[in-house]
Amino acid sequence: MSGTPAGAVRRTRSRRGPAHGTPRPWPDRSLPWIYLAPALLVLGGLLVYPVWQLGLISLLEYTQAQVSGGEPTSFRGLGNYRELFGDEQFRQVLLTTVLFAAACVGGTLAVGCGLAVLLTRVRALPRLALMLAALGAWATPAVTGSTVWLLLFDPDFGPVNRVLGLGDHSWTYGRYSAFLLVLLEVVWCSFPFVMVTVYAGIRAVPSEVLEAAALDGASQWRIWRSVLAPMLRPILAIVTIQSVIWDFKVFTQIYVMTNGGGIAGQNLVLNVYAYQRAFASSEYGLGSAIGVVMLLILLAVTLGYLRLLRRQGEVL
């Protein structure tokens, strides 16, 4: 960033003298903090403090008895974590969540980037059609999308089974087909963000650069790999991180489409599991510990990714 507007302003003002300018009630030094105050207040109270509380509760024995005041709150140390990692079901859910999120992120990025490139290859009308359809999917709330996809894949009167000739095959019954159904819905409603962002990024690349590369005899693939991809890397970083964050904590789709985690919990992911433990079984300490595990995994993934980018010479 070049120059400081604050400094520039100070010079201008002093030359003109205070009589002409409006009186400044605050000195320049505190002004940025005044602008930041509302944001810091809200973030401090509703993000930082809850994160701290989450960590704290995760170290406590905190169930309905403690919440209602029937029993004193006791410190468990890492007891909740030990209980979690000793639990076969939790380890299973953890692994499932990671794999499911990875599949969702992969699918979303592949579809989103592929269609973004496709958008640059077509004339205005098909582009508008695809853009509007994608905006429609993007605009669909998660609950709505979940129920609509359930209807589409309904064994008795969904059109998909008819078209595919699957008879009354139930998609939500089997573990993998239920996950596949949720995955399709998740990709459907989250690829538009990737598509629109990457498309905006490609459009921002000056066409002279691409023409020059083409004139120099670079192949399509070469142009993509050596010209576009490096210029798009910061955007790809943003959409990847956002997708990881969104898909790792999918709640609504799983909750609605598999009716709270599938038959015998076969489709549980961490978020739904934490909700069930905390609010259905009132095990708030355990639920918080699951929250902390999620938080740590997301932080690790994102920081690792940022470091990788920095090593490649990108400053985010």
Partner 1 sequence: MKPVRVLVRRPWRAAAEASALLVAAVVAFPLYWMVLSAFRPAGEIESDEPRPWTLAPTLDSFRRVFGQQDFGRYFLNSLLVAGTVVIASALIAFLAATAVTRFRFRFRTTLLILFLVAQMVPVEALTIPLFFLMRDAGRLNTLASLILPHIAFSLPFAIWMLRGFVKAVPEALEEAAYIDGASRTRFMWRILFPLVFPGLVATSVFSFISTWNDFLFAKSFIISDTSQSTLPMALLVFYDPDDPDWGGVMAASTVMTVPVLIFFVLVQRRLVSGLAGAVKD
Return the residues of window 57-86 that contact partner 1 according to CB under 8 A.
Answer: 57
Q: How far apart are CA 3 and CA 28, in angstroms?
A: 16
Total residues at the site for partner 1 (CB under 8 A)?
A: 118
The length of the chain, given as a count of residues: 316
Which of 93, 196, 254, 309 is in the footprint of partner 1 by CB under 8 A?
196
> CA 179 to CA 268: how far, in whole Å?
10
Residue 179 or 278 having the CB closest to partner 1: 278
Please tell me whether residue 166 binds partner 1 under the rule CB under 8 A: no
Site for partner 1 (CB under 8 A): which residue of 53, 64, 74, 89? Answer: 53
Cβ proximity to partner 1, 220 vs 313, nearer residue: 220
Of residues 94-113, which lie at the interface with partner 1 (CB under 8 A)?
Answer: none
Q: Shortest distance, CB of residue 176 to partner 1, whole angstroms?
A: 20
Residue 93 interacts with partner 1 (CB under 8 A): yes or no:
no
Which own/partner pairs from 246-249 qualify as long-range (CB within 8 Å, at least 24 positions apart)? 246/190, 247/100, 247/101, 247/104, 247/105, 247/108, 247/186, 247/190, 248/97, 248/98, 248/101, 248/294, 248/297, 248/298, 248/301, 249/294, 249/298
Specify the DSSP element, H or E, that contains 286.
helix 284-311
By the rule CB under 8 A, 31 interacts with partner 1: yes
Calculate Rg over the CA atoms of the chain: 26
Write the single-letter amino acid at 116: A
Distance CA 152, CA 248 (A): 25
Of 49-57, 79-87, 88-96, 173-181, which part binds partner 1 (CB under 8 A)?
49-57
Nearer to partner 1, 77 or 157 (CB): 157
**Closest distance between partner 1 and the C-beta of residue 272, in Å?**
10
Structure tokens at 27: 């000195």
Q: Which of residues 284-313 bind partner 1 (CB under 8 A)?
A: 284, 287-288, 290-292, 294-295, 298-299, 302
Spatial CA neighbour of 76 closest among 268, 299, 297, 289: 289
Q: Is 152 in the site for partner 1 (CB under 8 A)?
A: yes
The 217-256 site mask, x for binding partner 1 (CB under 8 A), equals: ---x--x----------xx--x--x---x--xx-xx--xx
Query: Does residue 266 bind partner 1 (CB under 8 A)?
Result: no
Going from the C-alpha of 265 to that of each of 261, 273, 287, 297, the distances in angstroms are 5, 9, 16, 22
* Closer residue to partner 1 (CB): 152 or 180: 152
Q: Which residues pair with 60 in a beta bridge?
A: 75
* 170-to-35, 110, 181, 210, 268 alpha-carbon distances in Å: 55, 27, 11, 49, 18
Distance CA 190, CA 212 (A): 34
What is the nearest approach in angstroms of partner 1 to the Cβ of residue 241? 7
Dig out the tokens for 181 from the structure: 């159904």
Give the residue with the Cβ less far from partner 1, 32 or 230: 32
Quick one: 92 or 282, whose CB is closer to partner 1? Answer: 282
Q: 179 vs 190, which CB is nearer to partner 1?
A: 190
In the stretch 203-222, what mask flags binding to partner 1 with x, by CB under 8 A? xxx-x--xx--x-----x--
Selected binder of partner 1 within 82, 91, 162, 307 (CB under 8 A): 162
Using CB under 8 A as the binding rule, the residues of this chain from 108 to 147 that contact partner 1 are 115, 118-123, 126-127, 129-145, 147
